[in-house]
Amino acid sequence: MTASEKKKVLIVEDDHLVSEMIKGMLEDLGYEVAGEAEDGHEALGMVKKLHPDVVLMDIKMPRMSGIEASILIQKHFPTPVVILSAYETEDLVKEASEAGVGAFVVKPPRPGELFRAIEIACGRFVDMVKLSNLRCKYAEAMKTIESLSKLLPVCPGCGEEKQDEDYLNKLNLYLSGIPVEEISRYLCSRCRSRTDT
């Protein structure tokens, strides 16, 4: 079993022996160990500096817990996170999920479990990025629709054609913000045929 791509993994674990065991397992699975941190605070700095593909995070650590670190990582340096913990309660799994964690593995992990958790967390992260991008595009589209609805050439109340100066100013302002290469989409067929020649 090998990693589909040589992903760089940051290990965040305060127990040195566990960290070394996880490191050996990751290398056997075909992953590259980007670094090792002993607590959540140190993990934040290493994520910023090393840009790992995934973070394996213990929960109970000094200075900053794995849950707190996961929240801050997702906020400032979005990266897939897998929680490695000796504890597994429904509340803890829910808390980890709400912190943006992509998978949860109970220590000591078996190689197959660790591999699946990393790949699932990375896959979920890609999906979340796509979803976030779609949300941004949707928000932009809604703004455009709102702007265009204000530029209807007729009054929605009485149906009369708008000819007042305020309407024409708003229309010109909107059109001036459209890139030249896109303006042809808004032209009538007669004007479009003139620009094509």
Whole-number average pLDDT of the chain? 83
Output DSSP code: residue 13. -
pLDDT score for 13: 92
In the chain, the domains with their CATH numbers are 8-131 (3.40.50.2300), 150-196 (no CATH)
Higher per-residue pLDDT: 17 or 192: 17
Cα separation, 3 vs 30, whole angstroms: 5
Per-residue pLDDT of 87-134, as tens digits, reads 777 887 788 888 778 888 888 889 999 999 999 998 888 877 788 788
Q: Is the distance from CB of 192 to CB of 184 less than 8 angstroms? A: yes
Mutual orientation of helices 16-29 and 111-149 as an angle, nearest 10°?
80
Per-residue pLDDT of 64-78, as tens digits, reads 888 899 999 999 999
What does the block give as tokens for 148?
């265009």
